[in-house]
Amino acid sequence: MSEKEKMLMGELYQPWDDELVMERSRARQITHALNQTKNTEEHYRRQLIEDLFGTIAGEMSLEPPFYCDYGYNIHVGDGFFANFNCIFLDICPITVGNRVLIGPNVQLYTALHPMDRETRAKGLESGRPIIIGDDVWIGGGAIINPGVTIGSNVVIGSGTVVTKDLPDNVFAAGSPAKVIRTVE
């Protein structure tokens, strides 16, 4: 099994593998170009994002700067919007539903480092996918940790750190995130 296959399956893998280094370099080149675009270059921006992301289901908007590891593991639905300075560490899939709004400085992390110091010292890492349902609003500065599933119609307060799954129809806030109330 290749290191890329291990990575995509969430198993321990070697991130210094030549194929993965090349793919991260490609993503860095595209994000660099994206981050240099002007507001008047919407068509060019869209082309770069289409080259970077795995799938885009419809209309979407992303405000640079934006950073990711690979890009091809990012899948967004129709009506997706991400504000300035978002970071998506996408060693595993990040799947985002329809009409999702992401505030500035939001960070989505699929990457995990081993708790065992000896394994960690070898430079191995793994990951877990993130899934975000439809009609979600993630407030500025929120952090979504590896393996989290966020239900549909969820509002996440600014600065929230989401460490566990959130059900549909809730407002969550805090560090770690706690369900505050239901939303309609």
For 93-136, the pLDDT digits (tens) are 999 999 999 999 999 999 999 999 999 999 999 999 999 999 99
Q: Has residue 165 been placed in a domain? A: yes
Residue 152 pLDDT: 98
pTM summary value: 0.96
Query: How would residue 184 be classed by pLDDT, with cut points 50, 70 and 90?
Result: confident
Domain count, the chain: 1
Domain enclosing residue 29, as ranges: 3-179
Mean pLDDT computed over 7-20: 97
Q: Has residue 113 been placed in a domain? A: yes
For all residues of the chain together, what is the average pLDDT?
97
Residue 181 pLDDT: 97
Q: Has residue 148 been placed in a domain? A: yes
Q: Has residue 184 been placed in a domain? A: no
Domain at 33, CATH number: 2.160.10.10
Q: Has residue 54 been placed in a domain? A: yes
Note if 113 is an active site residue.
Answer: yes
Q: Which of 32, 43, 75, 113 is labelled catalytic?
A: 113
Residue 124 pLDDT: 96
pLDDT at 145 over 90: yes
Q: Which residue has the tokens 């809730």?
A: 170
Q: Has residue 58 been placed in a domain? A: yes
Q: Has residue 72 been placed in a domain? A: yes
Q: Has residue 153 been placed in a domain? A: yes
